[in-house]
Chain A
Amino acid sequence: MNVEFKPEGIFLPAIDLWLDPRVPVPSAWLSHAHSDHARGLHDTVIATSITAQIYRHRWPLPPGRAQQVLTLNPHQSMEWNGATLTARQAAHILGAAQIEIEFQGERLVYTGDIKRRTPICGWHTEPAPCDHLIIESTFGIPIYQFLEVAEAQSRIANFAKECLAAGLTPIFQGYGLGRGQEIAHTLALHQIPCKIHGSIAGLIPYFEAEGYTFPQSSENGAILVTPGLEEKLPIPPSKRKSALVSGWAALDNARARANADVLIPYSDHADFSELLMLIEESNPSQIDIVHGYAEPLARILRHRGRNARAAQVAAEVQI
């Protein structure tokens, strides 16, 4: 199927469908609710029910404005302009999904953001065999190697416990949707109280609805903020320690750049080996790579005999 990579997003002209468009379009598949993927008021939106809910939370419908929201949960299929669309679970954030598109005997899969390891909050990735794969490459070179989920969780808990035992305030930096709640849930599992910054706390009800627990707020516990805010906390530097839980924490230079003491390389994206595994499992005859290290990863895949190319979408949004 013909795929157009445009600055506005990925477009499938044959079935008039956009994948994660950055601007309002007639009809859009939203792979997950991060705001660089689910943004703008499209006429028709197709997404999993969780993604649709969080998208609505972040993009409320103005009075008088109509929008068709079609729910497509994992394992469900629907017909769309002569194609069959099927949602497949993607391990990333709560509600994330790959979309599988069968059209004229060819199967295309767009992963959205994805990893292979099971996340702390969310479902595991369903393998999606296909002919044509569009995959992300945020961490698509071999220096990026992340922790197994159990190891990441024990490092998060141990960091907090060690700080508290030493009379220091443990500070976590986590993104508003996804990492933040995963850290908070991990602390809850270890009965470590935590004050949670508003933009992370505001989305917790969606996680609670899926059965995840969250910690008590306490003056004598950990603090969880979005990156950058930790500097504004009124706690003297000698009384606190900061941990960065992120894929970028795989490299020591993250310490200076994120102002962090402790680095915990855990991400909602795939590391390099996971990307290779995802590609093996899909075993496509054609690969388009978006986001991040698209060209380097495409080159590595070509060296391994894969038909891969970098699809430059647009400038990355720096988070």
Chain B
Amino acid sequence: MDQLAQAAERVAATGSRNEKIAHVANYLKTLNDADLARAVLFLSGSPFSATDPRKLTVGYATLRAALEVATKWDPETLSLCYREVGDSGETISHLCRPITKSEPLSLSQAEDYFDTLRQTRLTRTKIDLLAAIFQTHAAPALKFFVKTITDNLRIGLQEKMVEDAIAQATNQPADAVRAANNRGGDIAQVALAARKNQLQTIEAALFHPLDFMLAQPLDNIVELADPTNWYAEDKYDGIRSQLHVANGKVKLYTRGLDDTTDAFPEIILAFTNQTGPLILDGEILSFKDGRALPFHQFQQRIARKKVSQKTMGEIPVVFLAYDILMHRGELVFDQPIETRRRMLEELHLTHLSRQTPIETHAQIEDLFLAARASGNEGLVLKKKGSNYESGRRGANWLKVKKPFATLDVVVTAAEQGHGRRAGVLSDVTFAVRDGDKFLNIGKAYSGLTDEEIKQLTKIFRAGTIERYAGGRVQLVKPEVVLEVAFDGMQKSPRHKSGYALRFPRIVRWRQDKTAAEIDTLARVQELFQKA
């Protein structure tokens, strides 16, 4: 863990993706097989692999209690330190530096600790074990030991980069490593196979989320050279999800790749009669009295761990399928869309997206208007004969949305509103992404419900980095993703992105997206060229 911490700090200290990958690759090369397997897991931010049934249940409260035992700091001081640092692993590392015996922490020891913690039932015992660890091992290793527990290293290293680093360290093609990890879901196993030049032996596994195929935005339908090459489907205003089914076991994963099975019991129930093994791509939608419920209402169901009968009655949901990734245990990525569509139809699902072959541009316009009229976002155009390009935003799926455009942005600062909204942080400044940096592009005041503003205010207060203007304005951790619509754009020195939006308004809070997934400065520039 000590060398992993050094490598991780080097990764954090550069914004360049290539440099990050090179730092990880150089570190991985120094490791024996057993440590290689552990290191790639920990660097991906988890103590156990996604396909491992073992789960570590150590929460923030337990970590904090252990820190209190280890350092004997009073709760008030600890709260303040947590707030200022904003990360459990880093806080623990700072506060333990003066008191730890600073012994090394090997990767196998770390793994043993994770496993012991997992097997420990009593919280009190977990706290004592963690406190002993905090008093024993060197601060830099503790930082990443804890970050592995809390699931996020926060060094700007996505799992995709770890995959690329494995490829670099083992001289394997990056595509082969990515495909193997997408199939198998166990990056430790993939790293070992890559080193032995046996990536092809990694088999497809269910019950870990596979990468979604994504659509490129099409700003103007006349850009489409030959409309007869395409199918059209409505673009639904739901939650993009993947449904895994095998032998009566059903799991749902959303685009953020979280397991949301428990939030949607009626969907699970609807699929238990499928034998599978089967993986479907589709959308969770809420229909009531024949109409889709507004997203913000429906959204209340995402965060729920347990759902009451009452909520299920008020906000009923369905899974609407539009593609198939695994059919009878075989991955079908490489089958053409027509074959996959036939497989889907043969499943006789209650909710299947309607697919229309296109003849003319005018037909797209009609379908678009019809989709909008029935409450959907627009259209997705899918190319005839195309494969399912897992993890790619290729040119074979195109999304057609209104108005001028919308952008997914992240909130960087929040400000107290006026009048009725004086007590809440309702006015937000938001940014697009440029590599690892977030560049402000505008400010919006409207579009969220009071309830959403209340919830967001809590999140902003917890994520405050700095206050100014007498505390009215708070710089916040870039974590809340919003979709903003706007009517035009111009160059502007006012914002760091160099652009300003015309009449920006919040369309909705994208709880299903992380800051890493928002729109980029390149996308903004591209929109500006077209404006």
Contact = CB atoms under 8 A, between A and B. Distances in A.
Interface of A: 141-143, 145, 231, 237-238, 241, 250-253, 255-257, 259, 261-263, 273, 293, 296, 299-300, 303, 315, 318
A294 to B, nearest CB: 12
Contact of B475 (A257, A259, A300): A257
B76 A296 contact: yes
Nearest to A273: B98
B437 interface: yes
Contacts of B61: none
Contacts of B164: none
Contacts of A255: 12
Nearest to B469: A318
B76 A142 contact: no
Contacts of B77: 141-142, 296, 299-300
A73 B475 CA distance: 42
A253 B14 contact: no
Q: How large is the interface on B (under 10, 10 to 19, 20 to 34, 35 or more residues)?
A: 20 to 34
A68 B90 CA distance: 50
B254 interface: no
A261 B15 contact: yes
19 contacts: A141-B77, A142-B77, A142-B81, A142-B94, A142-B98, A143-B81, A143-B84, A143-B91, A231-B496, A241-B14, A251-B84, A252-B12, A252-B87, A256-B438, A256-B478, A257-B475, A293-B80, A300-B77, A318-B468
B469 to A, nearest CB: 10
Interface in B1-31: 12-16
A237 B85 contact: no
Contacts of A303: 74
Contact of A251 (B74, B90, B470): B90
Contacts of A241: 14
A165 B94 CA distance: 32
A253 B15 contact: no
B265 interface: no
Contacts of B478: 256
Given A143-B84, A251-B85, A262-B13, A257 B76 contact: no
Contacts of A237: 15, 435
Nearest to B15: A261
A261 B13 contact: yes
A143 B94 contact: yes
A237 B15 CA distance: 9
Contacts of B217: none
B86 A253 contact: yes
Given A145-B98, A252-B12, 13 more contacts: A142-B81, A142-B95, A143-B91, A145-B97, A237-B435, A250-B94, A251-B85, A251-B90, A253-B85, A261-B14, A263-B13, A293-B80, A318-B468
8 closest Cβ pairs, A-B complex: A143-B94, A143-B81, A262-B13, A261-B13, A296-B80, A253-B86, A251-B85, A143-B85
A263 B154 CA distance: 15
Interface in B452-472: 465-466, 468, 470
Nearest to A251: B85
Nearest to A293: B80
A171 to B, nearest CB: 13
B73 interface: yes
Contacts of B465: 253, 256-257
A213 to B, nearest CB: 29
Contacts of B74: 299-300, 303
A29 to B, nearest CB: 29
A117 to B, nearest CB: 16
A46 B523 CA distance: 59
Contact of B81 (A141, A252, A273): A141
Contacts of A252: 12, 85, 87, 90, 154
Given A253-B465, A257-B466, A299-B76, A141 B84 contact: yes
A253 B83 CA distance: 11
A177 B414 CA distance: 32
Contacts of A141: 77, 80-81, 84
A263 B10 CA distance: 11
Contacts of A315: 470
A257 B475 CA distance: 9
Contacts of A231: 496
Nearest to B93: A143
Contacts of A256: 438, 465, 478
A238 B97 contact: no
Nearest to B18: A238
Nearest to B155: A252
Contacts of B95: 142-143
Contacts of B85: 143, 251-253
B16 A238 contact: yes
Contacts of B438: 256
A296 B87 CA distance: 20
A231 B434 CA distance: 14
Contacts of A257: 465-466, 475
A273 B98 CA distance: 9
Contacts of A262: 13
Contacts of B13: 261-263
A83 B15 CA distance: 57
Nearest to B475: A257
Contacts of B87: 252-253
Contacts of B468: 318
Contacts of A300: 74, 77
A241 B16 CA distance: 10
Nearest to B496: A231
B75 to A, nearest CB: 11
A315 B468 CA distance: 11
B499 to A, nearest CB: 16
Most buried by B among A143, A296, A300: A143
Contacts of A142: 73, 77, 81, 94-95, 98
Contacts of A253: 85-87, 465, 477
A200 to B, nearest CB: 24
A255 B84 CA distance: 14
Interface string B40-84: 000000000000000000000000000000000110110011001
A145 B466 contact: no
B19 to A, nearest CB: 9
Contacts of A250: 94
